[in-house]
Structure 1
Amino acid sequence: MDSFLHELRNHQVISLTETWLCDNVSNGELSISTSHQIFRCDRVGKRGGGVLLGVDNGFLALRRPDLELGPEILWVEVTFPFNATSSVGRRLLIGTFYRPPSGDITTLEKCFNSVSLARSVGEVMLLGDFNLGIDWSYPVNVKSLSGLEEFFVDHFINGLGLKQCNMFPTRGLAVLDLVLSSLELKVCPAGDYFCSDHGSLEISLEPSGWPPPTPRSTPPPSLRPPTPIWKRTDWAHVNDTLNCLPWCLLEEGSVDEALDMFYDWLAGVLKDCIPHRKPRSRKFPLWMTSETVFVLKNKLSAWRLYKLFPNPNTLKTFMNLRRHANYLTKLDFTNYIASISSECVSNPKRFWSMINSRRNSASTPMEMSFGDVTAVGPGRADLFSKFFSSTFTSNQLLDTSVLDIKCNMVGFATSTNRITSTTAVP
C-alpha cells in the first residue's frame, strides 16, 4: 500500500472493505491518515471484515451513525463545493458496506433499511463488497434470479431507484464489488493499490451528474407582534422620557382626543425604551421532545421517498414511522398536560399560557348582541351595563369590604376541556 501512497492521496474519497482492523490499531498508524479523515466501522467479536472511508482533509465530512442500521455499514456525509472559490456546496451521503459470503438475507434487509433511511435524507452513493453472483452485462431480469440476488434487485434497484454503475469484474469474472448511486457516475478499473484478490475501482462524479437544485421558497413573515422584554427594561429611562412629554397638550381639545394622544405617546415610549424580541416561528410545539421531532422529520422524508418510488417497501417504512410518531406525540402531550396539572397552583402562569395558546382568538368580538340590539365599538360596553342591571339588583350587592375571598385551584382535567375550581368563603 505504501508504494502507491502518492497515487492514493490524489483521490478525494477512499473506500475499503475487509480492513481487518480492530481497536488495537489506531487511525494514526494508517498511511493515509496524514491526508485524509479516517472513518471506521470494525468488526466486533471476530477477526476479519470491517469497512473504512477516508475523506480528503479539504472537505467537510461528518459521520452519520443514525443511518448505520447494520453491523458492517458506514455512512459519511461529505460536502463538495460548487467550485474552488465557493464556500458552500452539495452534500452527498457516501456509504461503505461489506456482506460476508456466509451472510443471509437478514444482512441485506438491514442494509436496505439503512439505505432507505439515507435515501430519504438526500443523494447517496453506496460502495462495497456484496458477494452476489449477478451478471450485470445485460439487463437483469428479476424472474431469472432467486434468493438473495432477487431480493437485492427488487429492493435496491427497483424499489429505491438506485443505479448499479460498476460493470467491471473485480474478482475473476464475477462483479462482487458494486457501486450503487442515485447520481450519474463513471466507473473504471484502477491500479492494484492493495495486495488483495479483489480489483480496485476508480469512480468519478462530474458536476453535470448532480440534479438541478430546487429553489427554496421564502417563508412568509410572522404576523405576530414583537414581544417586549420587560426584564431588560430601563425604567429610569422610561420615567425620564415620560417627564419630558408636553402633558399640557392633553388639556386642549376633547376628552377623546386627549385619550388618543395619551395612548399614542405611551405606545411610542414603550416602543423606544423597551427592547423587543422578534417572534420565532416554531414548526413543532414546545411540548414535543427532540426524539419525537426527529421521528416526525424522518416520517416526512419517508413520505417523500414513497412519492418518488411508490412500492411496498417504501410504503412499509413510512407506515412504521407514522405509527411510531403518533405514539410519541400522544405520549409527549400526556406528559405535558400532567406536568401543567401538577404545577397548577405553584405556577399558574404556565397554565394560562397553555389555555391562551389553545384559543382561536384572544381578542374581543367586534360585534356583540343583547336581545334585539346589536352594537359595535363603545356601544358594546353599554350592552354589558344593560345586561348586568337587568340581572342583578341593589339588594344582591355585597359589602366586599368585610369579605376575604380566597380562591384555590383544586384540579385540572387532562383533557383540557373542563377546569374544576372551588371558592372558599370563610
Structure 2
Amino acid sequence: MGDPSTLLCIQCIINHATITDIIISVGDFNLPNLKWQFDEATNGYIPPNVTSVHEQILVETMFTISLRQINSFVNCNGRLLDLAFVNLPEHLDLVLPPSSLLPVDNHHVPLILLIDKCCDASPLQDVRDDERNFNFRTCDFSILNNVLGDVDWEVLLQDGSLDEIVATFYDKLQRTINDHVPRRRPSSSSSFNKPWWTPDLRNMRNNLRKFRKRFFLSRSDDDRGNLRQLEASYKVLLQSTYENNMSRIQASVKQDPSRFWDFVKQRNSNNRIPHNVSYDGVNAHNNTEAADLFATFFESVFSKGSPVQRHDCYAHLPSYDIDLPDHFSTSEVLKALEDLDVKKGSGSDGIPPLL
C-alpha cells in the first residue's frame, strides 16, 4: 500500500471526489517502524519518527491531501501495520469487534469501521460543496508542457471568428488543466477548528465517541440510554457554545470591531445556502423553497417587469479609432509572460500567472 503507484491512485480519487464525500483508505502499508501518537489539533494520529523515504512519501502525501490516520490498534507483536486514513475523523471510529468472522491473522487486527452520518448539520458547518481549487504549485509542468506542445494549435484555431477561436483556446486549455493539474482539497470542516469549540465541548465529544464504542460492543439498554442522554447533552452544549460565541461578537463590536469583521469575512467567504432558512413564519425544506423565500423577502425592491431597452442613447456615445497592431512577435509575447508576477492570483479567466 505504501508504493507511489498506490498513493497516486489515492490522489486521483481525491481529485474526483466532492467535498461532501467520505474518503477512507485502509490497508497494510507495511511500515511497522512508524510510531503513531494522537494529536488533538488534527484529531488524528501523526508519526514523529519519520526516517525512511517510503515513510516520508506516505506521510507527506496523505497529510497534503487532508487525510488523517485514525487507527491505533497494534497487533500481537506490538506493531501497527494496518493504517486507516480518512478525511473526516470526527465522524468515523474504529473499534475492535466482539468476535471475528474469519480466523484472526496475528499480524493484522480485525477492525470495525463506524461511520457517523449524523453530522452536526447546524449553522456550524461552513463548507462550499463545489470548492476544489487547482494546486498549480504541485503540478508537474513538464507533463503539462508536453501535452500542450503536442496540440496542433494552427489547425485547432484556424476556423471561426475571433471570439470562437478564443473560446476554443480556453476550452482546450481548461480540459488540459482538468486532466493534469492536481486539485487542492480544503481542509475538512472539523468542528475542532471553530472559534466556539471549547475544551468542555471537546471532552464531551470524546466521551460521546467512547460511549458509542461501548454501546456497539454491549448493545445493552443501559448503554443505549446513557448514549442517548449524552448525545442530547452534546447537542445542547454545542448550540450553547455557538450562541455564546455569537453574543460575545455582538457585545464586542465597539471595543473590538476587528473580531466582528473577521466573522463577517468568514460568512461572506461561504456561498452555500444556509441549512435553516425561514421568513414570515414559513420554513424552507429544500434549496428551491429557500430561494423562493429569498425572492419573497426582496420582492419589494425589485421589479418583475422586463427592463425597457433604449437604443437612442448609443447615438450620443463618442467613438475612437485605436491603432492596435495586428501581429505580436514571439519575443514580445515571451517578454510579457516573463513580466508576470507568479505570486499574484488568477485573473478573470482562472489561469494563474504561475502557469
Fold shared by both chains (TM-score > 0.5): no
Q: Larger radius of gyration, structure 1 or 2?
A: 1
Given the two structures, how large is their TM-score scaled by the length of structure 2? 0.33
Q: Which structure is higher in helix share?
A: 2
Q: Which structure is higher in strand share?
A: 1
Given the two structures, how large is their TM-score scaled by the length of structure 1? 0.28
Q: Which has the higher contact order (CA 8 A, sep 6+)?
A: 2
